[in-house]
């Protein structure tokens, strides 16, 4: 009754600005880096119907997507899933972590097909998109990579257990410089997913060498059995994608994670810190390395 008496009902109103452009694109350098790509869509109505038709209609086609590293400019080519042959579909499905046989939408991306850009640490990458008379821009930076020192599996806390393990990672953070990290993991070749804390900054551990526990994204959901929360199953093969990122990329994913963790009737609205001018979303630069291990100790 107390909350009801002091809270005013809020009803979202339809936007009078129309749909906004939504950008999600990346340039990566390092071990097994993925080819630079970008997904361009438009926002959907808050009160609208959500289904395969609506998602297909949200893709923005025939845009001119150019990326410059200061020396050369590369134009990305638009590729849609339905236009690929079966072998290419398998490659794209593996890259983006979905099942090629069960996809119900015509997934479209803009891609540096010939891998002309060759992203490298220390470089800046300027994005310019022109479509239907509109211009969308952004800039990202690929920082020097700070890799994990090592990682190992340890027995889980509590009673002896030979089917579960916890993962300890070791990092030496460079002193006297700002560093930002993004961490994703997969199991048995599945898609890479962030855990509860997918991004970190070195505000509290600048220049330190330390150990930290990395939770299993697949067992870190709210409805998971508490006995296996954050743990790994012995015998599985897991991979950790460890990325150094710039501040703008950190701010975007940090606000995404904060919004995701603070939902409910008493939560506050969180505005995502986009680095896109003329739209919303993220144009991010990563320097990456992968660590793959069979779960055992």
Supply the CATH number for residue 82's domain: 2.60.40
Q: Residue 234: its pLDDT value, please? A: 96
Is residue 4 domain-resident? Answer: no
Same domain, 137 and 22: yes
> Is 43 domain-assigned?
yes
5 within domain boundaries: no
The greatest distance separating any two alpha carbons of the chain, rounded to the nearest whole angstrom, comes to 64
Q: Do residue 160 and residue 290 come from a single domain?
A: yes
133 and 165 in a single domain? The answer is: no
pTM over 0.75: yes
Q: Among residues 109, 141, 173, which one ends one of the domains?
A: 141
* CA atoms of 235 and 237, how far apart (whole Å): 7
Q: How far apart are the first and last CA of the chain?
A: 53
| End position of a domain, from candidates 141, 172, 199 | 141
> Around Cβ 213, how many Cβ atoms within 10 Å?
11
Do 158 and 242 lie in one domain? The reply is yes
One domain for residues 195 and 100: no
Pairing of strands 108-111, 64-68: unpaired
Q: Which are the contacts of 53, defined by CB distance < 8 A and separation ≥ 6?
A: none
| 3-state SS string for the chain | CHHHHHCCCCCCCCCCCCCCEEEEEEEEEECCCCCCEEEEEECCCCCCCCCHHHHHHHECCCCEEEEECCCCEEEEEEEEHHHCCHHHHHHHHHHHCCCCCCCCCCCEEEECCCCCCCCCCCCEEEEEEEECCEEEEEEEECCCCCCCCEEEEECCCCCCCCCEEEEEEEEECCCCCCCEEEEEEEECCCCCEEEEEEEEECCCCCCCEEEEEECCHHHCCCCCCHHHCCCEECCCEEEEEEEEECHHHHHHHHHHHHHHHCCCCCCCCCCCCCCCECCEEEEEEEEEEEEEEECCC
Structure tokens, 166: 């916890």
Distance CA(40)–CA(31), nearest Å, equals 26
**Same domain flag for 169 and 268:** yes
Q: CB atoms < 10 A from the CB of 229, how many?
A: 14
- 155 and 290, same domain (yes or no): yes
Please check whether residues 100 and 181 belong to one and the same domain.
Answer: no
Domain membership flag for residue 1? no
Residue 242 corresponds to which tokens in the numbers above? Answer: 């460890």
Instruction: Give the integer Cα–Cα distance in Å for 264 and 180.
Output: 29
Are 179 and 290 members of one domain?
yes
168 vs 166: CA distance, rounded Å: 7
Residue 48 falls within a domain, yes or no? yes
**Whether 182 and 220 share a structural domain:** yes
Residue listed under structure tokens 């995701």: 260
Contact between 167 and 232 under an 8 Å Cβ cutoff? The reply is: yes
Q: Give the pLDDT of residue 270.
A: 67
Boundary-marking domain end, from 96, 121, 141: 141
Q: Is residue 277 part of a domain?
A: no
Q: Which domain holds residue 49?
A: 17-141
Q: Is residue 115 part of a domain?
A: yes
Tens digit of each residue's pLDDT, the chain (297 residues): 444 445 555 455 455 567 899 999 999 999 889 999 999 999 987 666 677 777 788 899 999 999 999 999 999 999 998 888 888 887 777 777 777 677 778 889 999 999 899 999 999 999 999 999 999 999 999 999 999 999 999 999 888 889 999 999 999 999 999 999 999 999 998 888 887 788 999 999 999 999 999 999 888 776 778 889 999 999 999 999 999 999 999 999 999 988 776 665 555 556 789 999 999 999 999 999 999 999 998
pLDDT at res. 220: 79
Q: Does residue 166 sit in the same domain as residue 290? A: yes
Any idea which residue has 């990325």 for tokens?
243
Residue 183 lies in a domain: yes
User: Residues 158, 131: one domain?
Assistant: no
Number of structural domains in the chain: 2
């Amino acid at each position: 009754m107390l909350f009801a008496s002091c809270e005013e009902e809020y009803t979202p109103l339809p936007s009078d600005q129309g749909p906004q452009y939504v950008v999600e694109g990346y340039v990566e350098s390092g071990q097994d880096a993925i080819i630079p790509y970008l997904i361009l869509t438009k926002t959907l109505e808050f009160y609208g119907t959500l289904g395969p038709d609506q998602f297909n209609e949200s893709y923005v086609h025939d845009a001119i997507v150019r990326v410059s590293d200061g020396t050369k400019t590369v134009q990305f080519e638009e590729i849609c899933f339905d236009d690929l042959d079966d072998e290419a579909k398998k490659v794209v499905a593996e890259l983006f972590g979905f099942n090629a046989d069960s996809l119900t939408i015509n997934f479209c991306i803009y891609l540096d097909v010939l891998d002309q850009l060759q992203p490298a640490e220390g470089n800046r990458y300027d994005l310019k998109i022109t479509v239907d008379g509109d211009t969308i821009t952004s800039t990202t930076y690929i920082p020097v990579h700070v890799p994990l020192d090592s990682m190992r599996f340890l027995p889980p806390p509590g009673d002896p257990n030979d089917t579960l393990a916890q993962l300890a990672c070791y990092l030496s953070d460079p002193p006297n410089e700002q560093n930002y990290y993004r961490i994703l993991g997969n199991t048995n070749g599945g898609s890479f997913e962030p855990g509860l804390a997918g991004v970190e900054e070195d505000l509290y551990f600048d220049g330190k060498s330390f150990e930290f526990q990395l939770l299993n994204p697949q067992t870190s959901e709210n409805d998971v059995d508490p006995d296996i929360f954050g743990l790994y199953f012995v015998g599985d093969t897991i991979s950790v994608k460890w990325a150094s990122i710039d501040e703008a990329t950190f701010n975007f994913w940090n606000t995404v994670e904060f919004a995701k963790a603070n939902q409910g009737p008493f939560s506050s609205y969180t505005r995502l810190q986009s680095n896109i001018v003329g739209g919303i979303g993220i144009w991010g630069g990563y320097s990456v390395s992968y660590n793959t291990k069979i779960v055992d100790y």
